[in-house]
Chain A
Amino acid sequence: MADVNMSQSNPTTTAMKPLNILIVDDSATMRALLHRVVGLADLPIGTIYQAPNGLEALKILETCSVQAVFTDLNMPVMNGMELLREMAKRDAWKDLLRIIISTDGSKLRRDEARELNVNLYVEKPFRPEVVRDVLCQIASADVL
C-alpha cells in the first residue's frame, strides 16, 4: 500500500535530465527489486547507486551527484531515520528528494518522516507500478 504524502520542497529544474538515484536497504533483494522497478519507469535514469545502510549512503552522497534517495528504515549500522537526520543537517542536500520505502507504516513514523522533509512514504508491500508512478511524478516535477 503506498501513501503519497507530499511535503513542501523546492522544485528542481531537472525535470527531463537523467535522475541519479540512491537506493538504501540492507536487503540485497530489495535493492535489486527497486533497481529493476526504476529501470521500468520509462524515464531518463542516470546512475543508480546502492547502499546497505545509512552510513554507506552518506559516503555516496558526499562523493556523487544524486537527485533522489529511496531508503528503508530498519537497517543495521545506521537506520533510515538516522540517515535522514544527517541529510537534514547538510545544506548541500536540501533539494534531494527523499522517499521512504518501509514495512513500518505507523502514524508516529510518518509524522517523524514529515518533520524530516520526506517527500513520499511508500509502505511495503508495494506494487512495482507504485514506485514507477512515484518516479514519474518526480521526473515531471509534480511533487511540491
Chain B
Amino acid sequence: MSSAKSPALMSSDLHDALQRALIEVSENAFFVFVEPANATQFAAAADQVTTAWLKVSVTFAGAFSGSVEIALPETLGGWLVTSLLGMDTQQTPAESQMFDGVGEFANMVCGAWLSKLSNKAMFELRVPAVTRMSQGWNPVAETRGREELACRMVMLNDLPMRVLIRSN
C-alpha cells in the first residue's frame, strides 16, 4: 500500500474514506445518524457541551502508522453505548462500560477507515485508550501539533464529535 504521504493516496481519499467509515459504523452498528458539521457549527455545538469530553485514541501500524483520535462529549459516549446494547435510553451505562464502548466505536471507525483505503494491506490495531479530559477542555481550543492526515467534524444526536487521523 502506498504511503499516506505519497501522491498515490490523496488527501481527498483519506477524508472520503473517513466520512464513509464514520457513517457506516455510526448507523449500522450504533444506530445513530451522522450529520456533517462545518467549523462554525461544530464550535457552536462544542460551546453548548456542559459535560466532560472524552478523547479516544486507537493506534495502528502496518503499511503506514498513525492513530485515529475521537473527541466526543461524555453524554454522547453514554448514548452510543446504550444504543449499541439496546439499553433503556433512561439508563446510564457504568463508566467502565462507557469507556469500553466508545473505545470499540473508535476501533470500528479505525478498522473501517483502513479497510476502505485498501483491502489488501494488513494493519495491527492497538487497544483503544480512553481519557476523560479536564473540565473546561474544548477540542476547538486544542492546539493540534502533530501531523494530521484527515479531520472530520460531525453531529450525532445533535452532539458534536471530532475525528482526527494523525500519522507517526
Contacts and interface: CB of A to CB of B under 8 A. Distances in A.
Nearest to A123: B115
Contacts of A33: 84-85
Given A26-B127, A27-B100, A33-B85, A104 B122 contact: yes
Contacts of A74: 107, 124-125
Interface residues of A, number: 24
Contact of B86 (A36, A106, A127): A36
A32 B122 contact: no
B100 A29 contact: yes
B107 A103 contact: yes
B104 A27 contact: yes
B contact face: mostly helix, strand, loop, or mixed? helix
A contact face: mostly helix, strand, loop, or mixed? loop
Nearest to B81: A29
Nearest to B107: A103
Interface residues of B, number: 30
A76 interface: yes
A92 interface: no
A131 to B, nearest CB: 11
A125 B81 CA distance: 14
23 contacts: A27-B100, A27-B107, A29-B81, A29-B85, A29-B97, A29-B100, A29-B104, A30-B104, A32-B97, A36-B86, A74-B124, A76-B127, A104-B122, A105-B119, A106-B122, A107-B120, A108-B120, A108-B121, A123-B115, A124-B112, A125-B24, A125-B25, A125-B30
Interface of A: 1, 26-30, 32-33, 36, 74, 76, 102-109, 123-127
